[in-house]
Amino acid sequence: MIPQARPLLGPAEEQAALRIMQSGMLAVGPESEEFENRLGQWLATPPVVTTSNGFSALHLGLLALGLKPGAEVILPCISSCSAIRDAVAAAGGVPVFADVSSQTPNLDAASVERCLSPRTGAILCPHHLGCVADLDELLQFGVPVLEDCAQSPGALYRDQPVGTLGRVGAFSFYPTKVMAAIDGGAVASRDPAVLAVARDKRYYGGIQDDQYRLNYKLSNLNAAVGLVQLARLPELLERRRAIGQRYAQALPAMGGIVQGSVVFRFGLRTRPGRTQPLLDRLLQAQVPCRREWYFLCPAEAFPQARQWHDDFLTLPTYPALSDEQVDWIAERLARAVQPGDLLESI
């Protein structure tokens, strides 16, 4: 069986981890600062604030925005991970759920506008599956936007890297993500004041005062692995794109991969009533296919999200897939799909 996800960690990552283990500088060391600097250079921002994981990056990002207790945070009603909802609660905010677009599984600006109130403190905007949300539409509301880039590092919006267009960007380096630092995350911003708050609240070690802080630091070991993965990022992104293109070639009527996006997973939009039979055929053929979304709240009021939830399947595109595995999946995909099953691929 081909797994749904697997990181691509090789000799360079092993050597980096072993070097840190032998040095004894596991928690704090020069690699931590270098990783922050390199990530900032890659994003064309000041040095980022690294964190222990993607959830802590979201939580710190909201705190760095100055979110007040009880402030509302607008976010999508569906996701593949509850971290976006739970980080709002951890920051003392109130999640307010909006529908997603009919074109992408990201926030729908019209639905967001209906959710705005005097209590709105932020908009939390994931770029789901590496598809970039319509940031112009969201930024026009004048509300601080936190971009969740867990599935989209390297994606571009109007030639700018995602995570740099909103007030804050949050990244994840979990093993199933685009970059795998064993685990980890980062808070990015063009605003030094936002970064200063995130850096101050990240860790309480060595500070003795009456301020509330957390234990969200990234270890030096994670940073060393992350530096190797960051250097390999162009290769990792290109491999994901190539795998997505191979699947698209198996479904020639569906078109190719959208420029500027990251192919985190390859998506299949299915016709109503055809999703479960197609999923059954793919699983019977041992193709690692799955439903992607679940609701973070009661589902009744979100018709566009309901369509994405009910009629959408995904295939893996992680770079550790061999050419033989990719061809094996593509061939079985082509055989399993029947006329009328699909609307489009993303």
The domain limits of the chain are 11-231, 233-345
The residues near 87 (Cβ < 8 Å, ≥ 6 apart) are 55, 58, 59, 62, 124
Check residue 345 and give its pLDDT: 85
Check residue 254 and give its pLDDT: 73
Query: Backbone phi, then psi, for 72, in 5-degree steps?
Result: -90, 140
Reported as a single tens digit per residue, the pLDDT across 211-232 is 899 999 999 999 999 999 999 9
Q: Band the pLDDT of 306: cuts 50, 70, 90.
A: very high
Tokens of 114: 């209906």
- Confidence check: pLDDT of 18 > 80: yes
- Confidence check: pLDDT of 163 > 90: yes
Give the least confident one: 93-97, 174-178, 206-210: 206-210
Q: What is the CATH number of domain 11-231?
A: 3.40.640.10
Check residue 258 and give its pLDDT: 67
Burial of 167-199, coded b for 16+ CB within 10 Å and e otherwise, reads bbbbbbbbebbbbbbbbbbbbbbbeeebbebbb
Q: Which fold has domain 233-345?
A: Aspartate Aminotransferase, domain 1 (3.90.1150)
Query: Backbone phi, then psi, for 331, in 5-degree steps?
Result: -65, -40
Reported as a single tens digit per residue, the pLDDT across 77-100 is 999 999 999 999 999 999 999 999
Question: Which residue bears the tokens 């009744």?
Answer: 300
The model carries a pTM of 0.96
Q: What's the rounded mean pLDDT across residues 15-27?
A: 96
Give dist(CA 227, CA 216) in Å, integer.
19
Cβ–Cβ under 8 Å, residues 54 and 150 = yes
Q: Band the pLDDT of 43: cuts 50, 70, 90.
A: very high
Reported as a single tens digit per residue, the pLDDT across 120-160 is 999 999 999 999 999 999 999 999 999 999 999 999 999 99
Check residue 256 and give its pLDDT: 64
Reported as a single tens digit per residue, the pLDDT across 236-283 is 999 999 999 999 999 987 766 666 789 999 999 999 999 999 999 999
